Structure formats: C-alpha cells, structure tokens
Structure 1
Amino acid sequence: MATTKSKAGLLPVSPATVWRWVREGKFPKPFKLGESVTVWDAAAVEDFIAKRSGGTQ
C-alpha cells in the first residue's frame, strides 16, 4: 500500500501517513483477517486514488 525504502507501494507516501489518514477519516479503514494480518479493501483504495486523481467519482 504505502511506499517504504525497500518496496514501492501503490501510494507515494509512508506507512505513517497512511495510518494518519485513517485516523483522520481521509483514507479507508482497514480490517483484520487474522490476529497479525491487517488489510484494506482493494476497491475502496482504488476509489480513494481515483477520486484524488480526477478519475471516476
């Protein structure tokens, strides 16, 4: 999702920024698949990106 030093992500921001956006209600909330596995709904993330890039509203 986010970009780190070792891996490019979908978003050119740090993991800390993604989590801040979640807290601020600017980014979709993740959900737990297991005790140590947190994921985001891919369609919700794609919608977030599209809305901010002038794509589909």
Structure 2
Amino acid sequence: MTAGIDRFIRLDEVLHITGLGRNTIYRRIREGTFPRQVRIGPNSVAWRQSAIAKWMFDLSPEGEG
C-alpha cells in the first residue's frame, strides 16, 4: 500500500478478496494466522485493507523468505 493511504473493509469484502469463508476467517483469527479486526464503532468491526494485503503477500511465493 502507498504510505498514509489505507481503508477499512468489512467482512463481506474480506470474504470476497481472500476467497475464505466466514468460519475459516474467525478460526484463523483465533489461531493467530489471520489479521485481527479493528473495532470502528460500538457494534462494528472492520479490517485494515493493508493488513489483508500484507497477509496475502506473505502467503504468495514473492513473500516467502
């Protein structure tokens, strides 16, 4: 991501971007293998787009090593 620019994305977009299911995402959060969500309101959570992008890059062959 470019410095200083980030956005919050909600669960539906995280599901679409990653191709993972809801249960898989929450299981991986518990296991510590997926970025944790950020509370953005009393009843709202979201993920930082940069955290999801980094997680995806780290899984790719370019991100290894």
Q: TM-score, normalised by structure 2?
A: 0.70
Which protein has greater RCO, CA pairs closer than 8 Å, 6+ apart? Answer: 2
Q: In percent, how many aligned pairs have the same letter?
A: 22
- Which protein has the bigger helix share? 2
- Which protein has the bigger strand share? 2
Q: Alpha carbon RMSD of aligned pairs, Å?
A: 1.3
Q: Any residues of structure 2 matched to 1:22-33 within 5 Å, and which?
A: 22-33=29-40
Unaligned runs of 5+ in 1: 3-8
Unaligned runs of 5+ in 2: 1-13
User: Where in structure 1 do 4 or more consecutive aligned residues deviate above 4 Å?
Assistant: none
- How many residue pairs match? The answer is 51
Question: Which residue number corresponds to residue 43 of structure 2?
Answer: 36
